[in-house]
Amino acid sequence: MITRFQKKQSKIIKNWDNKLRTLWTKKDLIEATNAIDPSLNFMNKIIGISGISIDNRTIKPGDLFIAFKGNKFDGHDFVKSAISKGAGGIIVSDLKLAKKYNGLFVNDTNIALLNIAKFGRNRFKGTTIALTGSSGKTSTKHLLSSSLKTYGTTHSTQGNNNNVIGLALTLSRLNPDYKYCVLELGINNIGEMEELTKLALPDIALITNVTNSHIQNFKNEKEIASAKSKIFLGLNKNGIVILNSDNVWSEFLIKEAKKTNANIHLFGHTKKSNTFISNIIQVKNGATVCFDDKQDWHLNYLNTTQALNAIATIAVIKELKLNLISALATISEMSPISGRGNNITIKFKDNKKTFIIDDSYNANPDSMNSALNNFQIMKNKFKNYETILIIGDMLELGDSSNELHFKLVPIIKKIKPNILITLGVYTSKICKELCSSINCYPYLSIDRLLIDIKKHLRPTQIILIKGSHGTNLWKLPPILKQNIQEEYNAA
C-alpha cells in the first residue's frame, strides 16, 4: 500500500530537473554501506541520488537522507520530514522505518556515512588537496578552490565544515569525474587528525601555520604542531607537503614530513623557500606581493595576512604544474570571505564614508595581532577618520588566556583608537588597563552591545571587529551596517 508520504515524494520527484546529475546509484550505496533493502523498493521511483544530507532542514529533492545520530538529536525523528521534502531515499537503523519508507537498513547510520565517504573518496581519480593550520585554513581553501575552478571542475569543503562529520559529508558529495578536490581539516584534540587524513587520503597536504590557537586542549604549542603533522600519515604515494617556512615550527614539520618520504615545498620569506616572498606591502584595502623575483603582484582586496594565504595557494598551483597566469588574475580580484577581513563601505550623505573591517568570524593570538597591525596601517592612511576598535575574547586558550590577552595591550596603545569596545571577560581587563588613556566600553553580553552600538556610529570612521566565534561578535556587523543605513536614511 502506498502511503500519502510516498505519493507526495513521488510528486516532488516528477518535478525534479531532468538534468540533475546522478551521484549515487542503488548498487553503489549498498556496496558502500553493506545495507539491505527490506522492502525491495529502495529508489524504485528514481535512477540515482543527487546529494547526501543528514539535516532535514536543508535537504533538497533528490538527496539521500541518512538518519545520523548526534549527541543531542536522532535523525530517525526527522525521517518523515525528509521524505515530505522530497528525499530520494533514506538510510536508517530502524527496520520498521526502512520498510515503511522504502529505505535501506544498516546497523549503524553514523558508520554508514563514513563508509559512503570512503567509497566516494576511493572512486575519485582526480587530485585531492587537504589543508590544515592554526589559522587561515578556510581563507586558503576559498582562494585555492576558486583558483582551481579556472583549470577544471573542483569540489571543496563548504563553509568550515572541517571535522570528521563535515569531511564525510564533503566526500560523500564528491563527483567522481571532477578534476580537483580541496579539503579543509580542523582539529581540537590529539588523535583527530589521524582519522581525518586517513579519510581524506590527500595527494597534497598543506599546513598554513602552527600557533597556540586551541591550546587549552594541548600541553603546549609543540603538541599542536605534532598533532597537525599527522596530516602527512594519509598522504598517497609520491605525496607533496607544502609548508610555511616562516613559521617557528617549520623545521619540526619538515622533519615529520620526511618520515613519509613526501616531496616538500616551502613558501615564505626565508631564502630556502621554493616559493620565495621578497616583500609584502599593505596598500589601502589590499596588498602588493613580490615573489620568485616576479614583478609586483597586486591583490586588490586582500591584506598582508591574506597575502600569505594567496602565496600558499600559488605554491599548490606550482606543484600541480599549472600555468600561474590564470590563478594570479583570479586571486588579484578576490575578496576575503565574510567575517574574515572583508571590507564593508557605508556611504553617508555628502559622500562621507565609514569603513568596517569585518574580521568577526574567529580569533586567536596570531590572527588578532595581524588584524591589529593591519588596522594600524589603515589608520595611518586615513588620518582624518575616527577609529573604533571592537574586540572580543580569544577563546580556547586555557591557562594562558590572561597572559595572551594582556599581550594585546602594547599594540592597542600604539593604535590608540578613539573608542575601544570589548566583549568578554578577558578583553574587559584590557579595558580596565587602558581606560585612563582611551575611551573604553567593556561588555559581557553581545545582546547589550547590539543595543548600544548605534550611539557610537557616525560618518568618517574606520571600525575593526574581531573576536572568537564563541563570543557571538559575528552578530554585530549586520546590525552595525543596518543601523548606519537607518541613520543615513533618516538624515
**pLDDT digit string (tens) for 136-172?**
999 999 999 999 999 999 999 998 899 999 999 999 9
Torsion over CA: 46, 48, 53, 59 (sign): negative
Give the burial class of 400: count Cβ atoms within 10 A of its Cβ; 0-12 exposed, 13-18 middle, 19 or more buried: middle
The residue to which cell 578556510 is assigned = 138
The mean pLDDT of 12-37, rounded to a whole number, is: 76
pLDDT band, very low/low/confident/very high, at 490 (cuts 50, 70, 90)? very low
Beta pairing partners, 49: 24
Q: How confident is the model at residue 485 (pLDDT cuts 50, 70, 90)?
A: low
pLDDT tens string 363-405:
999 899 999 998 998 888 888 999 999 999 999 898 889 999 9
Q: For the segment 127-146, what is each residue's pLDDT rounded down to a tens digit? A: 999 999 999 999 999 999 99
Mean residue pLDDT across the chain: 91
Residue range(s) in the chain whose domain bears CATH number 3.90.190.20: 342-490
**pLDDT of 482 higher than 90:** no
* Residues 119, 171 contacting (CB under 8 angstroms): no
Rounded distance between C-alpha atoms, residue 132 and residue 208, angstroms: 6
pTM of the model: 0.89
- The Cα 398–Cα 476 span in angstroms is 26
Please state, in angstroms and rounded to a whole number, the distance separating the CA atoms of residues 45 and 57. Answer: 23
For the chain, give every residue range classified as CATH 3.40.1390.10.
Answer: 4-115
pLDDT of residue 272: 93
Domain made up of 124-332: CATH architecture: 3-Layer(aba) Sandwich (3.40)
CATH homologous superfamily of 4-115: MurE/MurF, N-terminal domain (3.40.1390.10)
Enter the CATH code of domain 342-490.
3.90.190.20
